[in-house]
Amino acid sequence: MSRFSDETERELLAAGWRPGRKVDVLPWRRRLESSGFHMHAAAELFLSEFGGLTVDVDGPGISCARVPFELDPSLADGEDDRFSEWGQEVGEEIFPIGEMDGGRYFLGISSSSEIYIVADWLASLGVGVEALERLVRGIAADTVCQ
């Protein structure tokens, strides 16, 4: 049995994901740690499976519009202050994992595997698979801080 809904699995497969996928995260670690980030275990685990994917969804979703997202943490290079401040707000480190909506918002993952939309506000997409489901299917995030 799949961890994902049929729709989410179909979109992830189209983006290049496959079960058992392993990506080398060392280049991201080196680049971002030299900019002030710290890649924690949850970020490493998530990115080793999903890093490098671009998911081109759009149109109406279940409770919000579906927008494309790219799982490349280097897109947040130079944003360490923003991630650090929001991490202090929620009491956990948040490491970047990519961006959504053509760079309008960043995506980050906490040390407890919660995935956030990071902007001038913070919203939770849930943990791991739940977050990917919400992104693909267009299910609104829960605002955490504004």
118 found inside a domain: yes
pLDDT of amino acid 128: 86
**CB crowding 62-90: b at 16 or more within 10 Å, else e:** eeeebbebbbbbebbbebbebbeebbeeb
pLDDT of amino acid 35: 86
pLDDT of amino acid 129: 87
| Residues in CB range of 137: below 8 A, 6 or more apart | 5, 7, 8, 61, 62, 66
How many independent structural domains does the chain possess? Answer: 1
135/110 Cα distance (integer angstroms): 17
pLDDT of amino acid 1: 52
65 found inside a domain: yes
95 found inside a domain: yes
1 found inside a domain: no
> Hey, what are 131's tokens?
């977050």
Q: Containing domain of residue 19, as a range?
A: 6-145
- Consecutive 10-residue runs of the chain (146 residues): their mean pLDDT? 87 96 96 92 97 96 96 94 94 96 95 95 93 96 80
pLDDT of amino acid 146: 63
